[in-house]
Chain A
């Protein structure tokens, strides 16, 4: 039982017990990590950093800028290609982890948070496509509205409401996705990178 008298002390003690600095920021990795299939998690994170950086720039300047200026076109393209790479890296990461059964060794929460991050990314990507403010976004929004109405969520999420979609895309969903990703990375660090099946002796 903890001897700490305040909740801050108890939280600190519990955090230090569960998250050791050596686990959170390791300097070396097991030999089996020296394989290309292990780089796609961090490649996904790198694409996410580019996404957030270019997204912040787009948020500051707005649609009139990204549709009309050269630098706006460039930053808009960086944001688009970061999304493409983000999903490509994430899907290859998912395939790799699925085929090495990465939920082994009490890593189920890591696997589940990865799945949640994937679904949150799809919703975030979708809201991004409908706030482009061009004919493409109009087409996607009008087609998606029928789909959302058909499954009964049209009353809560109206894809023709650009204001709602923008707020979801630039505030709520990045917070949700960012939180899940941080949780996922902390779990990876805490449990360690999953070993190959033959290495684990299973």
Chain B
């Protein structure tokens, strides 16, 4: 037991040091002080901003996008400046232009928050959201420009586009707008294409060496356009080694980089089989037609022409670095920037960045751009496949929509017209280093090589009907690319043909059935599009708009009718084709 007397504590002298010292007090209060200061600073900032909003009599035009490249922000600022000059010249008030570059990763969320919170900027770049979400957002938060899209763009005055509707001044005519809503909302500012980038200096140096070794006739400052010659050059380049004694890896590969080569060099080679596949004479080989062509034995996967296409695929993948199928896009770029590879496929959107990376590399070099090589008709083995270079759809990209929160929609619309006028679109894209989207707008010298080919060839068959065939193709094709199957056994063109002939149809049957079900499910949605357009006609009092809507309605009337006929016809065709296949012993 303690023996401390009860009044002992009272007897003790008061120790002053028990009370917090001033320094202690400051230390203890620092956090509170910091919190309070931050709070009031934020409050003041918000209040000032709100006050500025209320008292600012300037027209503020805000725009959000995810392009963080310095050229893009600079381009917008410059165009806003020029727009103000135009406004000043015609006596209109100047605008205050604000742009908000948002990182890609957060863009979708940011846009959603701003739209739902009613604080969205006037113009928003469209993307990074699922299609269904975008559809709903368009209907709810964006202003349609349908009425304006059929009128000429006044900023095209004095050009060959002066009298053409705004819609028709775009390289793709803006397509059908948003078919589900029967309205146009977005306007694009650029278009894109892909080409092969190469290291000219290194190519010259290495080909000089090859000439010295007697392996090449002449020194080259550009890769051969002929695919066979290009592949032969790749083999010779691979025999040479760099300063560290490592062999050169001619083409920097990764799955997406190979995708570009596949699209622009290999896929058009299947065009000649279109004759057997295109049943309805529309010039496209769609997946259903491919399915019935195979089922009815009009076309087989061991067709000699297709076998050659597959052989070319293998010939190309053999020239990519080992393990290319599992490296990332950036790893492939590193190979090129480190000068271990001479060639790499890239898009026009990447062009400036790649050139900058090369210029800032430890051993800087200049980058040149050329077309992907192609098979020539004169080729002794592959010539019959050569119909030409692939068609490059000049699709509108870098699209912006006007939000309903805009306080000055007429100014925003005017700015959109300004940016998409022939002259201004050219100037804008010149600054940002991309391809203009307006007809007649010239692209910068650097981008000349990216000029989309509008006289090109499309693939002649389409073997992906749905998830089952896609998975099957994704399992089968890599075996051919790598040259062996999952058990390490050699996998060549013949193995590819055999597997496709034996197993593709089974997967396609499942996809076909599932798609039939999906088509039936979609019948109701098609009716909804029709119903909403019908309501617009019934409720609209503007005769011009009523006429336009009636035309759209009649256009939208065909798909639901066609869909029912197509379901019935496909079912009938399937029944007939199966009976025929059974009769011929091709099907159990």
Does A pair with B? Answer: no
Q: Contact residues of A with B, CB < 8 Å?
A: none
